[in-house]
């Protein structure tokens, strides 16, 4: 089978996919994207592609940067940066269906460790107007509990000592902005698309903190001139498997070494705060708002909070995928009740939002049989995810004297998951940047007799829990569930809370 490439597209007669209908060779690089994984390729690039088609504005091509590995570049370079986006769901009869589009606005992929200077030069280039990021929660090198820069983080220590060859996204941004400032190339918009609350504000704080350690003038210029819009992105994007590669290549008619897949659903809400212009993303489905906070809270708590709950309980019960987990009536009932009773009441009002319909649609999204989203993929990096997904809502409810039984079960499920073996005795790795200190806590706690003491010891881990572990109401609520999960398992625990 012929490889997907610009030449292949040019010579194509019949196409099974939507393909770029603009002059790719005339596209300029207006966007530098740090962390060019599946997530960005399935939403930012898709919306950017639609905006390009609708507006014909050729200033907004994208160069992707991989901060660690060469695999994305190695897959896409022989394809001239082209790749397929497959949006999958099932039709009314339950048969899988898929909509294919070849995305063309990714012009190049750089591998940062191979040539950090090239990345810095690109951030400083006059054509560049936006630096965007999907580096996952842990890529911010911050303390998820407080949002502040971890000055002791190995990458931050390295980047402060070696500013010409950074490793972290923050190091690249600040050093790139320094070169840009020196070249008088004008300010930039730096746009986080990760699942963090107030992602723009958090990023701005980290960038300014780091910049202040290098150069006070630079810090001032960034604060005054650059913009950091907050945003909320919602699209489920499972990891691509070899089966997906084969199946998509077959349907496309060309071999694609790294297609990405996602659900058809997409919501992208972003603040209209740009320092040097932006693409017409609204023509590709984005929504510009003055304040993204209520949308972020809605998404982080409703979608990501319940996703994590489903992932930990599902994984412990031996359910490999989200659709398998939500198909279990006991889990579905728990997730629906959690949304309705303990999450929805914590959300700021959003005029026009039908919350019941939002919840029902979310259950349907989880049930999508064509995604095969792995519970263990979502279970990764819990230490970075729990604060904004579950703990903030718990704090607010405790402050208001409200019950936290169902939220506490999700936290207990994470603590239980950290033991590294599921209910069938199958062991798995804990993938988490804080896996080592968490493991030590789990081992110490296991030696304790009293359940509340165990939970107190685990939740005294302040990088995740802040001061929440000092609240006995929290400790007690979690301890009921950890004891039950260990002694009786997931199904009996779910039965018990159903009462």
Looking at the Cβ atoms of 137 and 159, the one nearer to ligand CS2 is 137
Looking at the Cβ atoms of 384 and 482, the one nearer to ligand CS2 is 384
**220: Cα within 13 Å, side-chain hemisphere:** 3
Are the C-beta atoms of residues 292 and 66 closer than 8 Å to each other? no
Looking at the Cβ atoms of 33 and 365, the one nearer to ligand CS2 is 365
Least distance between ligand CS2 and beta carbon 268 (Å): 10
How far is the first Cα of the chain from the last one, in angstroms, to the nearest whole number? Answer: 58
Interface with ligand CS2 in residues 236-255 (CB under 6 A): 236
**Distance (Å, whole) CA 150 – CA 147:** 9
Least distance between ligand CS2 and beta carbon 16 (Å): 27
Least distance between ligand CS2 and beta carbon 235 (Å): 5
Asked if residue 297 binds ligand CS2 (CB under 6 A), the reply is no
Interface with ligand CS2 in residues 366-395 (CB under 6 A): 377-378, 385
Least distance between ligand CS2 and beta carbon 325 (Å): 13
Measured at the CA of 36, the angle between CA 77 and CA 153, to 5 degrees, comes to: 130
Are the C-beta atoms of residues 178 and 117 closer than 8 Å to each other? no
Looking at the Cβ atoms of 365 and 416, the one nearer to ligand CS2 is 365
Are the C-beta atoms of residues 143 and 152 closer than 8 Å to each other? no
- The site string for ligand CS2 over 428-467 (x = CB under 6 A, - otherwise) reads ----------------------------------------
- The site string for ligand CS2 over 178-217 (x = CB under 6 A, - otherwise) reads -----------------x----------------------
Stretch that binds ligand CS2, among 25-33, 67-75, 95-103, 302-310 (CB under 6 A): 302-310
**Distance (Å, whole) CA 100 – CA 81:** 16
Q: Which residue is nearest to ligand CS2 (CB)?
A: 307
**306: Cα within 13 Å, side-chain hemisphere:** 28
Stretch that binds ligand CS2, among 78-86, 154-162, 166-174, 300-308 (CB under 6 A): 300-308
Least distance between ligand CS2 and beta carbon 473 (Å): 27
Q: Looking at 180, 307, 397, 454, which residue binds ligand CS2 (CB under 6 A)?
A: 307
Q: Looking at 66, 72, 231, 304, which residue binds ligand CS2 (CB under 6 A)?
A: 304
Asked if residue 413 binds ligand CS2 (CB under 6 A), the reply is no
Looking at the Cβ atoms of 104 and 259, the one nearer to ligand CS2 is 259
Residue 255 bridge partners (DSSP)? 3
Least distance between ligand CS2 and beta carbon 304 (Å): 5
Least distance between ligand CS2 and beta carbon 103 (Å): 19
Total residues interacting with ligand CS2, rule: CB under 6 A? 10
Looking at the Cβ atoms of 267 and 341, the one nearer to ligand CS2 is 267
Least distance between ligand CS2 and beta carbon 45 (Å): 16
Are the C-beta atoms of residues 196 and 134 closer than 8 Å to each other? no
Least distance between ligand CS2 and beta carbon 260 (Å): 13
Asked if residue 46 binds ligand CS2 (CB under 6 A), the reply is no
Least distance between ligand CS2 and beta carbon 378 (Å): 4
Please choose, from the candidates 411, 330, 322, 313, the residue with its C-alpha nearest in 3D space to the C-alpha of residue 363.
322
Asked if residue 303 binds ligand CS2 (CB under 6 A), the reply is yes
Asked if residue 235 binds ligand CS2 (CB under 6 A), the reply is yes
Residues that bind ligand CS2 (CB under 6 A): 195, 234-236, 303-304, 307, 377-378, 385
């Amino acid at each position: 089978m012929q490889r997907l490439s610009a030449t292949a597209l040019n010579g194509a007669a019949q196409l099974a996919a939507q393909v770029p209908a603009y002059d790719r060779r005339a596209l300029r690089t207006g966007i530098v994207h740090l962390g060019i994984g599946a997530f960005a390729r399935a939403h930012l690039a898709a919306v950017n592609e639609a905006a390009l088609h609708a507006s014909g504005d050729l200033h907004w091509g994208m160069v992707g940067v991989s901060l660690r590995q060469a695999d994305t570049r190695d897959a896409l370079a022989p394809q001239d940066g082209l790749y397929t986006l497959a949006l999958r769901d099932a039709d009314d009869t339950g048969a899988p269906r898929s909509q294919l589009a070849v995305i063309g606005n990714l012009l190049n992929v750089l591998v940062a460790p191979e040539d950090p200077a090239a990345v810095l030069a690109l951030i400083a280039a006059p054509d560049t107007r936006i630096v965007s990021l999907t580096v996952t929660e842990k890529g911010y090198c911050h303390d998820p509990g407080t949002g502040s820069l971890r000055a002791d983080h190995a990458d931050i220590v390295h980047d402060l000592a070696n500013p010409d060859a950074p490793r972290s996204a923050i190091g690249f941004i600040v050093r790139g902005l320094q070169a840009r400032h020196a070249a008088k190339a004008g300010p930039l918009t730096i746009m986080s698309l990760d699942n963090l609350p107030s992602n723009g504000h958090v990023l701005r704080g980290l960038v300014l903190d780091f910049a202040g350690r290098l150069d006070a003038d630079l810090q001032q210029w960034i604060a005054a001139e650059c913009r950091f819009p907050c945003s909320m992105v919602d699209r489920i994007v499972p990891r691509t498997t070899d089966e997906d590669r084969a199946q998509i290549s077959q349907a496309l008619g060309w071999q694609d070494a790294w297609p990405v897949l996602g659900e058809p659903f997409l919501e992208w809400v972003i603040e209209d705060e740009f320092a040097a212009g932006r693409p017409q993303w609204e023509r590709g489905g984005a929504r510009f708002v003055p304040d993204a906070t209520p949308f972020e809270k809605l998404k982080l708590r409703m979608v990501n909070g319940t996703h994590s709950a489903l992932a930990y309980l599902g994984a412990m019960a031996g359910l490999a995928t989200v659709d398998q987990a939500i198909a279990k009536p006991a889990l579905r009932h728990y997730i629906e009740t959690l949304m309705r009773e303990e999450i929805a009441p914590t959300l700021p009002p959003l005029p026009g939002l039908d919350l019941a319909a939002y919840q029902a649609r979310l259950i349907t999204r989880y049930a999508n049989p064509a995604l095969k989203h792995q519970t263990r993929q979502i279970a990764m990096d819990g230490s970075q995810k729990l604060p904004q997904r579950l703990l903030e809502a718990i704090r607010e409810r405790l402050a208001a004297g409200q019950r936290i039984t169902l939220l506490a079960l999700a936290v207990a499920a994470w603590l239980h998951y950290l033991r590294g073996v599921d209910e069938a005795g199958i062991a798995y790795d804990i993938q988490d940047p804080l896996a080592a200190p968490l493991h030590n806590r789990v081992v110490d706690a296991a030696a304790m007799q009293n359940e509340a003491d165990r939970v107190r010891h685990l939740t005294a881990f302040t990088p995740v829990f802040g001061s929440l572990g000092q609240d006995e109401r929290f400790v007690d609520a979690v301890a009921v569930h950890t004891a039950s999960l260990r002694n009786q398992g997931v199904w009996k625990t779910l039965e018990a809370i159903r009462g």
